[in-house]
């Protein structure tokens, strides 16, 4: 992964920075330049709350090459308290105890590492509460 491609997503991956439409209040993660609802172009920067619930989940057993050393790992779609949905790994969990609707919180974690000389890629994962 090139440095610019990694660096420009850091506000979202490290701090869950989102854009809140100043006109209609809709929240976008990642931020956008135009609201798909009211078409306003004015946004307020907010940090998403780090709590939510699991809407669905799976356990990845055949992974992309940069994730092979982590298999098997759980992933899910999380609805955060503000209503924004994100996709992330579900870390520190017992696969058999995963359940739709279970409360989770978002933590800052290492996502993967690109070989010995590559970038260590960080971001968010969720963990059961």
Query: Please, are residues 54 and 100 in contact by the beta-carbon 8 Å criterion?
Result: yes
Q: Which is nearer to another protein, 35 or 89 (CB)?
A: 89
Q: How far is the CB of 88 from another protein (least distance, A)?
A: 5
Query: Please, are residues 93 and 127 in contact by the beta-carbon 8 Å criterion?
Result: yes
SS3 content of the chain, % helix, strand, coil (to 5): 15, 45, 40
Q: How far, in Å, CA of 70 to CA of 119, rounded?
A: 17
**Does 122 engage in binding with another protein (CB under 8 A)?**
no
**Does 55 engage in binding with another protein (CB under 8 A)?**
yes
**Does 64 engage in binding with another protein (CB under 8 A)?**
yes
Question: What residues make contact with another protein under the rule CB under 8 A?
Answer: 9, 13, 30, 55-65, 67, 70, 73, 75-77, 85-89, 95, 100, 111-112, 121, 123
């Amino acid at each position: 992964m090139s440095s610019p491609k990694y660096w420009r997503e850091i506000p979202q991956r490290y701090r869950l920075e989102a854009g809140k439409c100043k006109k209609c209040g809709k929240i976008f993660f990642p931020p956008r330049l135009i609201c798909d609802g009211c078409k306003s172009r004015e946004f307020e920067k907010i940090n998403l709350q780090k709590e939510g619930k699991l809407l669905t989940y799976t356990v990845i057993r055949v992974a992309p090459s940069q994730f092979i050393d982590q298999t098997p790992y759980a992933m899910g779609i999380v609805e955060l308290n503000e209503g924004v949905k994100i996709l992330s790994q579900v870390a520190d969990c017992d696969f058999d105890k995963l359940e739709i609707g279970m409360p989770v919180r978002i933590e800052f974690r290492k996502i993967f590492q690109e070989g010995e000389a590559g970038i260590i890629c960080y971001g968010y994962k969720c963990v059961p509460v």
